[in-house]
């Protein structure tokens, strides 16, 4: 006992005072200086390892095994003896694809040393003791970004291909690379395609059609029928507003809307307004009411039909899912203007949204809100930069190497051109979406959200659903997209498709011969886990577009004469692709 009667501190007790001070300091730094955890997440991981010496010693022991294997490999290569790589690059890692990285001992040693160090460090961060899954993932994410930036391929004197090309071109490659650097410096972006590589309306988005509706948020485009008759029920496609709509109408050979039109469907698509500061207060409710609801009812009127087939892509699909729950409550199941619906790569359960999770917490959202409050919107380049960071090797450093170190011209790739054609997002809408969907995951919770005066419950949805995901989607992991079948009403038939490729090319997946891609398809049982579904799903070669049409055809009714828009007093608002798509 001490003199004042308190129990004295034993020598074996751990004093956590410093830890509490450190945690408070890091929390303050993260809120005020580093809201996205670029450095604080890494420092937290370092402290966590120091507080777990037993686990750290085990990792150091494992690292010593890597060092020994690497030393053996270096010795064999130095003496000209064959040796298997200690670390093999991932299949999607093209940085070391040139034979020089394997055939020349010096460059092979540099490559292997870099890969061994980065692989071990990333694994350690993913296994950091004492941190939550999200904290470990964030630390590993930012370390991976730093390591990607420090790859030997990103520096002239450690890139044998760049040095070889400099010699072969008598230095012209570096001259061209410097010009490209100045171009991108002026543009404040590492370009993936030249700004004038394509012209919308001339090279892209050329399927004939007319704008049939316009308000402050959206233009509605109807594509000119190419068949004598069309299915009675029209298709309405709600596009995401974080990019332009013409990703589904790139070129005639890649255009989904042209394909649907040629197959006898009456197709409508949304082209969203690129908002400015005057639209700062536009919210998610407005996108539902003035966007989806007005569009659906307009199409019903123009086509003289009681219901449409509604399709949503990405964030447009999240809006469509919300609308379906809202409309079932607002109109009632007998009067809802949607007969059945389709989702393309859509999240409705945001509990595990993939790598983008590292940008989602209270501090990060607050920082974004403060930035948006200054101008009234989130700039499209900020959003594009976030998505490019998720795949920094292929979407950032690949172009850094090709443009600056090798001096190569940018490829004229239409998907990349569309990707660089960014749009802004209203501050109110984006804040709501980040908080209610990503941060609180309220869409999957019954009546946790109230949108446009109605509580939202996905279980009210009984209409048949066709849902498509992509195997390599880094924005909408298919395992999460799959979960929609658990939240709609048990009476709703669901057909789930998993396409090969990623978020864009898994959807922009035209029918070609011979097939380029394949897909898995099956109807999931109510509580069936995605692993069990995948194990029994049928894998088919080719494009899922044909399977979708086989599902749509009986649902969309008999063949009838195309809608007479003139008879329906449809206003002539100009030809496709409209005017909103050109707004910068």
Catalytic residues: 314
- Cα dist from 122 to 62, 117, 119, 283, 556, whole Å: 14, 9, 5, 39, 50
DSSP one-letter code for 507: T
Determine the Cα–Cα distance for residues 95 and 151; give it in Å rounded to an integer.
9
Are 520 and 497 in contact by the 8 Å Cβ rule? The answer is yes
DSSP one-letter string for 420-473: HSB--EEHHHHHHIIIIIIIT--TTSTT-EEETTEEE-GGG--S-EEEEEETT-
DSSP one-letter string for 314-374: THHHHHHHHHHHHHHHHT-TTT-SEEEEEEES--S--SS--GGGGG-SHHHHHHHHHHHHH
Are 86 and 73 in contact by the 8 Å Cβ rule? The answer is yes
Nearby residues of 240 by Cβ (< 8 Å), 6 or more positions away: 313, 314, 315, 316, 317
Buried b (16+ CB within 10 A) or exposed e, 60-72: eeebeeeeeebee
Determine the Cα–Cα distance for residues 103 and 82; give it in Å rounded to an integer.
10
Phi, psi of 348 (to 5 degrees): -125, -20
Peptide bond into 494 cis (omega under 30): no
- Cα dist from 311 to 25, 104, 137, 173, 227, whole Å: 48, 53, 33, 47, 22
Closest listed residue to residue 320, CA positions, set 303, 298, 335, 337: 337
Nearby residues of 527 by Cβ (< 8 Å), 6 or more positions away: 486
First to last CA, the chain: 74
Determine the Cα–Cα distance for residues 49 and 131; give it in Å rounded to an integer.
10
Sheet of 518-522: strand order equals: 209-214, 218-223, 267-272, 235-238, 308-313, 338-344, 465-470, 494-499, 518-522, 538-541
Are 231 and 266 in contact by the 8 Å Cβ rule? The answer is yes
Both tokens assigned to 462: 């009984």
């Amino acid at each position: 006992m001490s003199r004042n009667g308190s129990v004295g501190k034993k020598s074996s007790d751990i004093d956590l005072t410093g830890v509490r001070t450190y945690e408070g300091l890091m929390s303050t730094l993260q809120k005020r200086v580093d809201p996205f955890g670029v450095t604080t997440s890494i420092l937290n991981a370092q402290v966590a390892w120091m507080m777990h010496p037993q686990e750290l010693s085990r990792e150091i022991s494992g690292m010593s095994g890597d060092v020994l294997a690497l030393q053996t490999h270096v010795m064999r290569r130095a003496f000209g003896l064959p040796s298997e790589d200690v670390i093999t690059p991932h299949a999607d890692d093209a940085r070391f694809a040139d034979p020089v990285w394997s055939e020349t001992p010096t460059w092979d040693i540099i490559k292997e040393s870099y890969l061994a160090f980065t692989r071990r460090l990333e694994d350690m961060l993913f296994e950091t003791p004492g941190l939550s899954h999200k904290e470990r993932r964030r630390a590993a994410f930012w370390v991976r970004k730093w390591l990607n930036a420090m790859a030997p391929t990103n520096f002239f004197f450690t890139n044998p291909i760049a040095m070889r090309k400099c010699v072969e071109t008598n230095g012209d490659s570096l001259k061209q690379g410097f010009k490209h650097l100045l171009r991108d410096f002026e543009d404040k972006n590492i370009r993936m395609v030249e700004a004038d590589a394509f012209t919308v309306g001339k090279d892209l988005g050329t399927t004939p059609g007319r704008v049939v509706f316009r308000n402050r948020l959206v233009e509605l485009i109807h594509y000119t029928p190419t068949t004598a008759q069309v299915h009675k029920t029209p298709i309405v496609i709600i596009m995401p507003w974080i990019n332009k709509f013409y990703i589904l109408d790139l070129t005639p050979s890649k255009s989904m809307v042209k394909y649907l039109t040629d197959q006898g469907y009456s197709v409508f698509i949304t082209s969203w307004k690129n908002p400015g500061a005057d639209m700062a207060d536009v919210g998610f409710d407005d996108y539902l009411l003035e966007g989806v609801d007005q569009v659906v009812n307009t199409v019903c009127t123009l086509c003289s039909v009681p219901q449409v087939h509604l399709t949503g892509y990405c964030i447009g699909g999240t809006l469509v899912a919300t609308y379906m729950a809202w409309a079932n409550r607002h109109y009632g199941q007998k009067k809802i203007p949607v007969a059945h619906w389709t989702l393309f790569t859509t999240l409705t359960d945001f509990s595990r949204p993939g790598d983008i999770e590292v940008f989602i917490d209270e501090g990060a959202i607050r920082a974004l809100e403060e930035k948006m409050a200054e101008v009234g919107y989130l700039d499209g380049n900020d959003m594009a930069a976030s998505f490019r960071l998720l795949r920094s090797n292929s979407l950032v450093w690949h172009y850094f190497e090709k443009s600056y170190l090798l001096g190569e011209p940018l490829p004229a790739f239409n998907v990349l051109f569309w990707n660089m054609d960014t749009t802004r997002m209203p501050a109110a809408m984006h804040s709501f979406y980040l908080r209610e969907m990503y941060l609180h995951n309220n869409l999957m919770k019954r009546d946790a959200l109230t949108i446009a005066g109605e509580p939202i419950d996905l279980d009210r949805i009984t209409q048949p659903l066709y849902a498509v995901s992509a195997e390599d989607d880094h924005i909408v992991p298919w395992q999460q997209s799959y979960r929609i079948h658990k939240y709609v009403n048990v009476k709703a038939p669901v057909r789930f498709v998993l396409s090969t490729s990623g978020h864009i090319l898994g959807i922009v997946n035209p029918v070609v011969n011979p097939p380029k891609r394949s897909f898995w398809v099956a109807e999931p049982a109510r509580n069936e886990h995605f692993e069990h579904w995948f194990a029994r799903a049928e894998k088919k070669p080719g494009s899922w577009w044909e399977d979708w049409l086989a599902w749509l055809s009986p649902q969309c009714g008999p063949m009838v004469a195309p809608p007479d828009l003139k008879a329906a007093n449809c206003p002539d608002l100009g030809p496709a692709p409209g005017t909103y798509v050109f707004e910068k």
